[in-house]
Amino acid sequence: MAIALIIPDRKLDDLQQRLQQALPDTPIEIWPQLSDPAKITFAVLWKQPPAVVAQLPALRALQSFGAGVDGILADSTLPRLPLARIVDPALTAAMLQYLSGIESYYRLRLDFFRDNQQQHLWQPRSPRKLKTLCVLGLGELGAATARYFQQQGYTVNGWSRTPKDVPSVHCFAGTVQLAPALAEADLVICLLPLTPQTENLLNANVFAMMQPGAIFINVARGAIVDDQALIAALDSGQLQAACLDVFRQEPLPAEHVFWSHPAILITPHTSAVTRVDTVVAQIAENYRRSHQGLPLLNQVDLNQGY
Ligand code: NAP
Ligand code: GLV
């Protein structure tokens, strides 16, 4: 019985040490240096190379190292095993801090002043009057975001797949209620998971449902957005600005048109990054549960893909 950490793009010493402290009797190994693949019963995954997990015959359960699981499920050879994801108050707090900063950036017109500074232009303006906000996705992060901005004085609409009840938030559900959820929003924040149903969901039709001059923020996944439709909506003025933290291809290729678009603010997938210190306990608990035949904490619905 051993745990494999299959997270190619990250230094893993800290995660390995902390997991070892939580599970002193369990070998914690870092892929690709696995002493015996046949002994791996639990794998912690993030951006794992395709077909690697399928080569571990004794696996009982899988753990995403992030909130999203789209990258893990994209591997068509992945064995159909219980899969858990991260739900963590520290991750939610980081997302709210990021979104609060981005909201202030636009409300205070820092985008406009930054552009003016480049032209040595002195043009005082009062803050933008942003009143209504729509959150696409009312799960762990979306519902917290909706509650946060409602407390800041916004009228908040939220949209989900199934009906939800979030106090003081106007909740909409399903395809037919997407248009009314978006219609009056000054700010639209995407916190949907990437699934076959949400891929390219935010296309020209959906940007046309938004209020002219809306500001769009994507902190979910790049492939939920049709890139060309987003550029067209910005160029026509249908959207006033967009803040993008996530992209179809990451890192965003140097030649991508998003980099130089004057209405786009780019951050490199930094809005809410998993913290080793705050997630080790739930990963260790899920390892124990997988060996006791218990449901995992924060288990993903494999049929829905999130
Ligand atoms: P979650 O708890 O699983 O919530 C997902 C929400 O999206 C739910 O409300 C769900 O509806 C809704 N949804 C799913 N499919 C839908 C559809 N077809 N139509 C309408 N609504 C749909 O996820 P979360 O923890 O809030 O995280 C959301 C996403 O944020 C993650 O999947 C990840 O991609 C992204 N993320 C990004 C960062 C970053 O650093 N940029 C960090 C963390 C997470 P129901 O409530 O009806 O199920
Ligand atoms: C980050 O993008 C995550 O899904 O945790």
Domain limits of the chain? 2-88+274-292, 89-266
Is any atom of ligand 1 closer than 6 Å to the C-beta of 142? Answer: yes
The pTM of the whole model exceeds 0.95: yes
pLDDT confidence bin for 9, thresholds 50/70/90: confident
CATH fold, domain 2-88+274-292, is Rossmann fold (3.40.50)
Q: Which CATH architecture has domain 89-266?
A: 3-Layer(aba) Sandwich (3.40)
Task: Render pLDDT for 123-179 as a digit per residue (tens, 0 to 9).
Answer: 999 999 999 999 999 999 999 999 999 999 999 999 999 999 999 999 999 999 999
Is 139 close to ligand 2, i.e. is its CB under 6 Å away?
A: no
pLDDT per residue as tens digits for the range 206-243? 999 999 999 999 999 999 999 999 999 999 999 999 99
pLDDT at 28: 98
The best mutation among 72, 246, 250, 274 to test binding of ligand 2, ranked by most ligand atoms within 8 Å of the C-beta, falls on 274
Whether a cis peptide bond, with omega within 30° of 0, leads into 32 is: yes
By most ligand atoms within 8 Å of CB, the mutation choice from 46, 102, 192, 298 for ligand 1 is 192
Interatomic CA distance for residues 145 and 139, integer angstroms: 10
Question: By percentage, how much of the chain surpasses pLDDT 90?
Answer: 100
Q: Across all residues in the chain, what is the average pLDDT?
A: 98
Per-position b or e across 171-187, b if 16+ CB within 10 A of its CB: bbbeeeebeebbebbbb
* Given 107, 170, 256, 269, the catalytic residue: 269
**Identical fold at 2-88+274-292 and 89-266?**
yes
Q: Where are the alpha helices (DSSP H) in 75-219?
A: 89-107, 110-118, 140-151, 178-182, 204-209
